[in-house]
Amino acid sequence: MITASDKYKLALTGSHTALTRVVVLNPNANNTYSEGDTLAVASGTLTIDGRRNIWRQATFVVVPEVQEVLDPLKQITVDTRLRLQRGIRFFDGTEEWVTIATLQVQEARETLGKAGLEVVAYDPGSLVSDYSLVTPYAPQDISQQPLTTVEAIQDLVDIAVWDTITWTVDGGIDIAVEPPAGTVFTGSRWDAVTNLAKSLGSVVHARPDGSWRIRKIDIGPQTPVLTVESGIDGVLVSTNILRSRREQFNAVPLRWESPAGGGLVFLVDNDSSSPTFWNGPFGRKPSSEQRVDTVTTEAQAIDAAAALLEQFRGYTSSISFSMVHNPLLEPFDHIQVEVDDTLEDHLIDAINYPLAGGVMSLDTRKVSVA
């Protein structure tokens, strides 16, 4: 969940004025960005999907916030980044803003007769997609010394991104482990990053502020960050729920190999409160056998299988609800949702977020029984 003050969080469930803007970030000669003009967002949508490499993708229309900025097209080019922010204006006239995305401009289109500038922008994960592995990549530094798996992930991303990256590596990730000797990647840079991350039981993504995170995928119940209820004090207006068994599994077989040997680990959803509990009415439905080239030990295989199981287990649900927008929610956040007068624990996979009003919709999975 994105950080904000308690005052901001409280205002989200009450009466307030919601604002959306972008701050133009102009590139400098020393590989940094400086703030330029601020533009208002007239319409558009931000999609945040934790199942993709590029988490944040947005299409929106910007207009001058002040009269002095006459032509947004002169402020925004395909070299530009945009800091997309959601603000609240409180009754005392003060404002608080949170950054919900830092985006690289993909397209900027100005149409005669139409007000504003149409912008398509993606988070910095798009830069990793743009730069495929032109030559085979072996995880080692310039002196041919092997890199750790974490260092290799950071190196693959750093090379593709123009500015200097700030990294966060979650606790519980083994920062000393190295990829297997002789590991070489070709083709997709993202495939290399995700394969390395799988061996750590993690995913890699750009954060709202433009920094990057190697995120540990933890299996098991977690404390919900938000309760979405109906009623006079609630924010839930309507729900549209789909339940599905397709692509839902409650066990993961993962094979690991090394020069000294190998084996198979088989992890099951052993949480008795989970709707896909291995010994429950959901039945026993393992995924196909998984292989990750960068996994060479049983311990790594267990971590990788646990991370995959976390992404498989739980009922697939599509929940749409009308509410005062909560821009603080992110994929992998746990929330409680009222369904048929019962609170269910759900994990967010994706968010579709209108930037100028409308229904905020989420793709979630029911992960445990409340």
Domain presence at residue 331 = no
Burial (0-12, 13-18, 19+ Cβ within 10 Å), 230:
middle
DSSP sequence for 320-352: EE--S--TT--TT-EEEEEETTEEEEEEEEEEE
Whether residue 297 is found in the same domain as residue 203: no
Rounded CA separation 305/156 (Å) = 23
Domains: count for the chain: 3
* Residue segments in the chain with a per-residue pLDDT below the cut of 70: 14-17, 65-73, 112-114, 219-221, 229-240, 317-324, 358, 368-370
Whether residue 89 is found in the same domain as residue 108: yes
Whether residue 141 is found in the same domain as residue 212: yes
Whether residue 133 is found in the same domain as residue 195: yes
- Is the Cβ–Cβ distance between 282 and 275 less than 8 Å? yes
Strand partners, 366: 315, 346
Q: What is the pLDDT of residue 133?
A: 94
Whether residue 103 is found in the same domain as residue 159: no
Domain presence at residue 338 = no
The pTM score is 0.84
Whether residue 116 is found in the same domain as residue 145: no
- What region, left, alpha or beta, does residue 79 occupy, with left being phi > 0 and alpha being psi -120 to 50 degrees? alpha
Rounded CA separation 275/367 (Å) = 7
Question: Which CATH number is 209's domain given?
Answer: 3.55.50.10
Strand 251-258 relative to strand 290-291, pairing: parallel
Domain span at residue 204 reads 128-216
* Residue 272 Cα to chain centre, angstroms: 28
pLDDT tens digit sequence for 200-224:
999 999 999 999 999 998 766 678 8
Task: Work out the mean pLDDT of the chain and round it to a whole number.
Answer: 86
Whether residue 106 is found in the same domain as residue 200: no
Whether residue 265 is found in the same domain as residue 164: no
pLDDT tens digit sequence for 98-141:
999 999 999 988 876 667 889 999 999 999 999 999 999 998 87
